Amino acid sequence: MPSNTLPSNDGAPSASIDPGAQTGASGTPAFSPLYQQIKALILQSLQSGEWKPSTAIPSEQELAGRYKVSQGTVRKAIDELAAENLVVRRQGKGTFVATHAERHIQYRFLRLVPEAGDPSNEGPAQRRIIDCKRTRASADVARALSLRSGDAVLQVRRVLSFAGTPTILEDLWLPGGPFKGLTAERLTSYDGAMYALFETEFGVRMVRAEEKIKAVLPDPEQRDLLQIGASTPLLSVERTAYTYNDLPMELRRGLYLTDTHYYRNALN
C-alpha cells in the first residue's frame, strides 16, 4: 500500500505516514498504529522548536487537516502526549506545549519533599553554586550522555538548603555544545527552576528521566558541604534526564538528607 505524504507548512513534503508495516529489530514487520505515527510527527515539531514551550499548538482540526487524518486519530495522539506531560490541555483555550516554568511540572522532577507532604509549604530551596566549569567527559559521564570520552561537558556542583539547612548536594554534567554560555553567575541569578532555565535560555527541555537510588555514607568533602557527621546516611540518586526522542542531556548525581524529608515517587 502506498504511503501518504504529509505536506509541511510551506507545501513541500515533510514526512510520510506508512499505514502498513515498519521493520522491527528481528527483521519482521512491526505494526505502528496511525495515531502513534501522528504522535511521532508532533514530537518532531516539538523537538524542532516549531511550537515553543507555553505556546498553543494547532487545534485538533488543524492538525487533522495538516496530516490528512481524522480528528479522532489526532486526539488519541495528543492524549498520549498529555499523559506524558509534553503538552497541557486547558479547557476552552486549547492545547499548549508544557513548560518547566509551570508549578506542577517543576514538582514532577522534585522528589524530595518535607514530611508535611507539600513542597510548597517550605518555599523554594536556597541554592549555592559551589562550582561551574567546562571540563572533559570521563568514560562514565560520556556513556551516560551518549558522548565520546574527552568531549566537552559543563560540570556543576551546588547545595540546596531548606530553612537554612543544607539538604541536597548535587553534581551535574551537561553536554558542552547545547549549554555553551552557562555560568555560575547565570545559575545563581536565575530565580526559577534549573530545568526552566535550560528550556528558556538554551532551548533544551527535559521530558523524562531515569534514576538509580541507593543508600551511602558521605565522604569528608560531602560531610563538610552538608554539615553532617561521618555516620549520617544519605540517599544517593543518579538521574539521567532526556529531551525529545530519548536524547540524554543531563547526568545528575544527588545526595539527599532524609531526616526531615522523604523521597516520593508515584507509580502508575
- pTM here is 0.72
d(CA 268, CA 266): 6
Full domain range(s) for residue 48: 4-97
- Claim to verify: residue 50 and residue 23 sit in the same structural domain: yes
pLDDT tens, residue by residue, 106-162? 445 667 778 875 666 667 789 999 999 999 999 999 999 999 999 999 999 999 998
Cell digits of residue 53: 514551550
State whether residue 98 is helix, strand or coil.
coil
Question: What does 67-79 look like in DSSP terms, one character per residue?
Answer: HTS-HHHHHHHHH
- State the amino acid at position 35 in one-letter form: Y
Which CATH number is 43's domain given?
1.10.10.10
d(CA 42, CA 78): 9
pLDDT at 267: 62
d(CA 214, CA 219): 15
Q: Which residue has the cell 508549578?
A: 103
- Claim to verify: residue 56 and residue 172 sit in the same structural domain: no
- Claim to verify: residue 183 and residue 239 sit in the same structural domain: yes
pLDDT tens, residue by residue, 71-102? 999 999 999 998 887 888 988 889 998 876 65
- How remote is the C-alpha of 50 from its chain's centroid? 18
- Domain end marker among 70, 97, 124: 97
Q: Does 171 have pLDDT greater than 90?
A: yes
